Structure 1
Amino acid sequence: MRLVLALLALVLLPVTAATAQPVEVTVQRDGDAFLAEFTLPRAAPAWGFFRSSPDAGTQQSWRLQSWRVLTPGVALQRRGSFDAFVSTNARPVPLKVRVRFDPFTGDLLADYVPALRLGGRSVAVFDGHFALFSVGRADVLDRLSSSGDPRLMTDTGTGVRFRGGNLRLAGDVEGYRRGNSEGTYGLYDVPKAVVRNGVATVLDGDLPQWIADDLASYSPRVMQSLTARLGPPGITQPTILAAWEGSQRDGVSMNGGTLKGLILMRFEGRQALQPIPALADMAHWFIAHEASHFWLGQSIHYASQRDSWIMEGGADLLATRTVQSLNPAFDPRTKLNEGLRDCVQLANQPIATAIDRNQVRANYACGVLFALVAEKVSRGDFYAFVRNLIAANRADREVSLDEWLTALARAGGTQAQVTTIHAMVERGTPQPKATIANLLRGSAIPFVLDQNGVPQLQ
């Protein structure tokens, strides 16, 4: 009888998103650890996590390092490109799954850090990492690419609710997520934000004071500059969330990302305890890049992760031009030529599949090359190209490769430019140096070849 019921549940698995209930997740603090309870709306043998990017350091699942399933009959496993709850018997996964986890603060290969520690007991937990989809058979996960296949996955949304204590949300959004949609961070025991010139900063209490002061003064200038050139981003109050990872290591490092109305930053290293102009310059460019995603990434976003080069390369060029306008001593060629060098190394394979190959850098490096072409055909005004791109795709707020190329053609791009970029995205090029040189030459962008034959802007 149990086997019959299990098989019946699998037969009844297919549902429509319009009628099915979402996954409900409650996250609450339990001392220094956290408890997450998943309420699943239907029977299924396995539930995959949309956001399953591995730990950047070990290339292994970060969940398997920091989560412990408390519910009998279900295991957390790495299946193909996905972490998943998988039934350990003939029955479907129980409709209630409880997990105890320690906040994982390490870098992921291509996603937002699961948690940030902000000094003392302050912890920020990202809700997007709890979003689930179901599959009719567990082995389906083994053959799914990291981008997934909607025909084999059932996604009816995931609602995440943070509970307990001194808690609030960061950013502009709350509610149910679908797929890889951006979410927000639940802030536990975090000090109140400091608001200056319309930009809020939530800073780790242990962050070196010179970094805190610099972030608070520079961030509003970036937002004002971008808004003046691109129009309002539709964000109530942009927020900077900055964490200090400590001074145990020599040197200095900085990383982060962006969500709806929220810029994340993490600083680390002994040398960062004292002012470092190079670190300040890095932070300024980073803030400009991430703030650019309020337009390229939120006002409009890509239709598929195959098109993420549109957002990342575009944000790179917007950041470069914005920092250049705020700091006349800034030389944009350093950043741009770094992109050209990396694109030469990565463009021999399709840019569209770079994420599947764990070559995320291709989206930035080759994306900024394509953005330079768009800037040139727009009479040297990339801001104008982005404004027009947003206006043309305001209805569905999505931009695909074809729609971006249409915008390029409308701005004055040639058929040769369109054909070359399309080929690099979809197929790659067997001769990256020559292809990139021809694209720059055909766009009247001045360059020279370095000693290795790599095109570099003059």
Structure 2
Amino acid sequence: MRLKTALICAGLIGLSAVTACASPTVVAVQAPVTAEDGRVAVTVQRDGDRWTADYVLDRDAPVWAFFRSALLRESRRPWRPDWWRVETPGVVLERVGDYDVLRSTDGGPVPRDVRIVMTPRPGDLEAEYDPALVFSDGTVALFSGQFDVIPLESVAAARALPRDLNGVEVPGGPAAVTWRDRSGPILFKGERKPEATAVDAQTYVLFGDATTRRGDGITTVIDPGLPRWLGDQLAGFTPQVMAYYARRLGPAQGEPPTLMVSWTGPTKSLSSMGGSVLPGLISMNFEGEGVLDPDAQALARARWFIGHEAAHFWLGSQGLRYQYAREAWITEGGADLMAVRALKAIDPVYDDRAELQREVDDCVRLAAGRPLASAGDRGDNRAYYACGAVFGLVIEGAERRAGGGDFFDVVADFQRRDNDDGILSREEWLGALTRLSRDPTLANDISTLLDRGVADPSAVIARLFQRTGVAFRLENGRVVLS
């Protein structure tokens, strides 16, 4: 049985390219925004089985790059060229460097009006929000940020764009997207509306008649085909774990969240859980025969998965965010450790050591001989989760020695010190480790793993654990938690 757990930090890049996760702007208008309003306008519409995205571009440019252009996780291929088709003559959609682009075939400006026909499909992307959640009853949720584009002067300029645009100034800005379904209202930000227009909405927009339930401080939209035991866990355990986080770290920012869960089906030899967090929204997708029936392992993984996603409301989208994509270990590994500690507090028989041992083993495997900071470029995003959790154990150990606290006390201190801009940078994280431990060599060793890589990560991790009091033993060179 293959277990695939695809998790995405909500602190992803926003189109402003200045800071991660810019605040959403909702434009309360009845008519679609046009390019005359000073930005690209897009109308996304479902008409029966036909899905279209009609672009009205705000300037002349021979190339437009899609700001979010992550690859599919399994194949490491771009998804748009296979799932989208340009109907406008003289315009092609292709991959250039790290980006999907629209370009004119004659080298001139792309026409101001461009129509794209879409085929929404479930797809797991690398460190990015899935473009669509497809429900078993035909309901579809589309990620709002997939339509933002950047005007460029040439194909060469598109090829030169860096993969991580955090901190990089790019022309243009987020598009004004209008959402419309000819069969009835859409669900936008927890409300049913005939249509909605928004700029940088940072959400999933739901097309279809999925049942919405409110209760226990959370609104749920759960695929009717989802195995019932999973639906019960999601509806019951999500508010429970969020309440624990709120007790330890204070209430989450923003309105009570919506939980949106899709079910891809009972694929053979697969047990898959994927998800992400956006402001006010947790999205999840489940797939595979391995989650059809409850058992102890599947239950533990599902609860841990819920705990990780819920943690991002404090260390992620609505809480502290990382500064650059290469620093995803701060929020992803931190959310992993928060989930483990919360589950142990809620269920004392939960095997937290086994989960943390998996983090250590994965970190050693993925960090061997390669710098962690560039793991995303290699498609090894799991390294950010595993090694981030290992580093979390290190700073938690330093916290225990300094004052007897745990990782939640570390996060609470980050909240107090670093909440002015909402960014928790690498320098701030490592500075806190040095302040707690009074040992600058800890930060130096972590920086070496991040920037240069080491041939034997086990030896470095063992030294980090030894100096911060994390209990372990070495068995034939393997770091084993004890």
TM over 0.5: yes
| C-alpha spacing 1:370/1:155, structure 2 compared with 1 (3 Å) | farther
CA contact (8 A) 2:63 2:154 kept: yes
Q: Distance in 1 between matches of 2:420 and 2:289?
A: 48
Structure 1 position 420 matched with structure 2 position 445: yes
The 1:359–1:252 alpha-carbon spacing in structure 2 relative to 1, beyond 3 Å, is closer
CA distance in 1, matches of 2:103, 2:293: 49
CA contact (8 A) 2:95 2:101 kept: yes
Task: Say yes or no: does 1:229 pair with 2:252.
Answer: no
Query: Which residue of structure 1 aligns with residue 58 of structure 2?
Result: 41
Q: Out of 409, 421, 427, which is 1:396 matched to?
A: 421
1:339 match: 359
Q: Which stretch of the first structure deviates more once superposed, 412-421 or 268-277?
A: 268-277
1:145 aligns with 2:169: no
Match of 2:38 in 1: 21
Q: Distance in 1 between matches of 2:343 and 2:209?
A: 30
The answer to whether residue 196 in structure 2 is matched with residue 176 in structure 1 is: no
Which structure 2 residues correspond to residues 300-379 of structure 1 after superposition, within 5 A?
Answer: 300-347=320-367, 348-379=369-400
Return the alpha-carbon distance in structure 1 between the equivalents of residues 425 and 179 of structure 2: 34
Amino acid at match of 2:435: R
**Quick one: which amino acid aligns to residue 179 of structure 2?**
F
Q: Could you tell me how far apart the structure 2 residues matched to 1:224 and 1:371 are?
A: 22
Aligned-pair identity in percent equals 38
Cα separation, partners in 2 of 1:205 and 1:301, compared to 1, 3 Å: same
Q: Secondary structure at the match of 2:376?
A: coil
Amino acid corresponding to residue 291 of structure 1 in structure 2: A
Distance 1:61 1:89 in 2: 24
After superposition, the C-alpha distances for 1:104-139 in whole angstroms (9 at most, x for unaligned) are 212123222211122323111111111212222211
Q: CA shift at 1:351, angstroms?
A: 1.8
- On the 8 A contact 1:244/1:267 being kept in 2, the answer is yes
Instruction: Tell me the distance in 1 between the aligned counterparts of 2:239 and 2:126.
Output: 29
Distance 2:77 2:50 in 1: 21
Equivalent position amino acid for 2:277 in 1? T
Aligned-pair distance for 1:267? 1.9
1:219 corresponds, among 203, 226, 238, to 238
Counterpart of 1:200 in structure 2 is 219
Query: Does the CA contact (< 8 Å) of 1:33 and 1:103 recur in 2?
Result: no
Cα gap change, 1:279/1:149 in structure 2, threshold over 3 Å: closer, same or farther?
A: closer
Instruction: Describe the superposition over 1:292-323 as per-residue Cα deviations: whole angstroms up to 9, x where unpaired.
Output: 11111121211111211100010010011001
Root-mean-square deviation (CA, aligned residues, Å) is 2.3
Q: 1:413, CA displacement in angstroms?
A: 4.7
SS in structure 1 of the partner of residue 377 of structure 2:
coil
Counterpart in the other structure of 2:178: 161
The residue type paired with residue 206 of structure 2 is L
Distance 1:441 1:197, change over 3 A: same
The counterpart of 1:274, out of the listed 288, 293, 298, is 293
- In structure 2, which of residues 68, 86, 106 is the aligned counterpart of residue 51 of structure 1? 68
**What letter corresponds to residue 377 of structure 2 in structure 1?**
D
Q: 1:352 to 1:271 in 2, by over 3 A?
A: closer
Query: Do structure 1's residue 188 and structure 2's residue 220 form an aligned pair?
Result: no
1:351–1:424 contact (8 Å) kept in structure 2: yes
The alpha-carbon deviation at position 198 of structure 1 amounts to: 0.6
In structure 2, distance between residues paired with 1:196 and 1:450: 49
Contact 1:52/1:82 (8 A) holds in 2: yes
Moved more, 223-232 or 413-422: 413-422
TM-score normalised by the chain length of structure 1: 0.90
- The AA in structure 2 aligned to 1:369 is V
**Partner in structure 2 of residue 83 of structure 1:** 100
In structure 2, the gaps of 5 or more residues are: 1-16, 19-35
| In structure 2, C-alpha distance between the alignment counterparts of 1:151 and 1:107, rounded to whole Å | 26
Contact 2:122 2:264 in 1 (8 A): no
Q: Distance in 1 between matches of 2:62 and 2:178?
A: 25
Partners of 1:253 and 1:366 lie apart in 2 by 22
| Cα displacement (A) at 1:151 | 5.7
Q: Is the 8 A contact 2:166 2:324 kept in 1?
A: no
Instruction: Determine if the alignment matches structure 1 residue 209 to structure 2 residue 228.
Output: yes
Amino acid at match of 1:456: V
- TM-score (norm: length of structure 2): 0.85
1:454 aligns to 2:478 (yes or no): yes
Q: Counterpart in 2 of 1:386? A: 411
Task: State how far apart, in whole Å, the 1-side matches of 2:232 and 2:273 are.
Answer: 16
The number of aligned residues is 437
- Tell me what 2:138 maps to: 121
**Alpha-carbon separation, structure 1, partners of 2:406 and 2:169:** 43
> Residues 42-66 of structure 1: CA distance to partner in whole angstroms, max 9, x if unpaired?
2222111121111223321111111
Give the AA of the match of 1:292. Answer: A
Please give the secondary structure, in 2, of the residue aligned with 1:124. strand
Q: Provide the rounded CA distance (Å) in 1 between the counterparts of 2:374 and 2:37.
A: 32
**Distance change in 2, residues 1:251/1:432 (3 Å):** closer
Tell which deviates more after alignment, 418-427 or 406-415. 406-415
CA 190–408 in structure 1, closer or farther in 2 if over 3 Å, else same: farther
Which whole-Å CA distance do the structure 2 matches of 1:155 and 1:305 have between them?
21
Whole-Å separation in 2 of the counterparts to 1:313 and 1:40: 39
Structure 2 equivalent of residue 101 of structure 1: 118
How big is each residue's C-alpha offset from its partner over 1:372-423, in whole Å with a ceiling of 9 and x where there is no partner?
1111111241111111112222221112111111222333452111211122
Contact 1:351–1:363, Cα closer than 8 Å, also in 2: yes
Q: Which segment is superposed worse, 342-351 or 237-246?
A: 342-351
Query: Are the counterparts in 1 of residues 315 and 331 from structure 2 also a CA contact under 8 Å?
Result: yes
The whole-number CA distance in structure 2 between the counterparts of 1:357 and 1:271 is 28
Task: In structure 1, give the amino acid aligned to 2:288.
Answer: G
For residues 151 and 203 of structure 1, what CA distance do their matches in structure 2 show? Answer: 38
SS of the residue corresponding to residue 358 of structure 2 reads: helix
For the 8 Å contact 1:171–1:259, the answer to whether it is kept is: no
Give yes or no for contact 2:121–2:134 (8 Å, CA) kept in 1. Answer: no
Counterpart position of 2:25: none
What are the superposed Cα offsets for residues 330-357 of structure 1, whole Å, 9 maximum, x if unpaired?
1211111111111112223222211112
* Cα distance in 2, alignment partners of residues 228 and 362 from structure 1: 30
What secondary structure sits across from 1:441 in the alignment? helix
Distance 1:51 1:448, change over 3 A: same
Structure 1: state its 5+ residue gaps. 1-15
SS of 1:83's equivalent?
Answer: strand
